[in-house]
Amino acid sequence: MDNTAAPAPAPLHPLTTFQRVVRFPLVALVLGLLVFAVLMAAVFGVLGVVAAVAGVAENDTPPAWLADYVLSILLTVGSVLLLKIAVRHLGEEPRDDLPFDARSRDFGWGILFAGLLMSAIVGVTALLGGYRIDGWGGSTSLAFIILSAGFQAAFFEEILFRGVIFRFVEAFAGSWVALLVSALLFGLVHWSNPNGTLLAALAIAIEAGVLLGGAYMLTRNLWLAIGLHWGWNVVQAYIWDVAVSGIAVDGMLDARPAGDPLISGGSFGLESSVVAMVLATGTGLWLVWMAAQRGHVVQPWWVRRRRGLSLPASSAPLAPMQAKPVQA
């Protein structure tokens, strides 16, 4: 079996100067971010129209839940459409990171895997005295948990942070820089959440950045990362009644953090606990290791250009593993 890295395929037709510029990774990154900026502007414009229509009188304001639900739906659908219409065509090797084929089953595997991981985190935290159940809860937050913490966070954030930022930073500077940059930015945007602290932002950057980045490196599509993100948020919020990135929810159980905030995560939730940092980061490092075993570690653009290497192809996480050397 030939284990050498596959050379980049030669284009059928020579690229024009404009095409070479547009496909350059940093240019693709800027264009991808601009596309998302347009999406955000359009979504908030629609929200303004909805607010005006929903207001019955001049001094009325629509209920907060209406704006939240409309925002969640628009960002979820809009991000998927932008990926399919625009982002997939960017970069030196255009590809669809959200294929509607057998690889979409990874979404379900991600939910299951994240549910088990979060349940293990809750269990260990409870054994250490950082999580207590006081009784049964309710379902008043269910729609928010499913739409906002589930679909919006999973699809919008993964398409942006892994499908745009990670992908094109990796295409330019390599996998390790992409993992670092996307993780730090992902943690940074959560710093402004309710009860957010520098420690909480760093915790999310380390645990979630490595876990979700590792899922993308392994599969080379977004389905596993989206499933992990969805399952992580929904299970911790609805099943275990744990705050999602500082946002308190009404879950199926009536539970609360207890003891040392380093163990419980305090009011921000388990995402800022050392238990989550150890277990989730360890799981993420395992995914990164498996990605390396598949030869999915990408070298910087100038190294690939000099050696004629191509980017890894998309594959399902449960596909048979073939040991391949890391592109070096």
- Residue range 148-206, pLDDT digits in tens: 999 999 999 999 999 999 999 999 999 999 999 999 999 999 999 999 999 999 999 99
pTM: 0.89
Calculate helix-pair angle for 198-219, 223-234, nearest 10 degrees. 140
Per-residue pLDDT at 60: 57
Rounded to whole angstroms, the Cα distance separating 269 from 195 reads 9
Per-residue pLDDT at 9: 56
**Least reliable range by pLDDT among 48-62, 89-103, 202-216, 253-267:** 48-62
Complete DSSP assignment for 251-302: -SEEEEE-S-HHHH-GGG-GGGSHHHHHHHHHHHHHHHHHHHHTT-PPPPHH
Q: Which residue did the predictor score with more confidence, 1 or 149?
A: 149
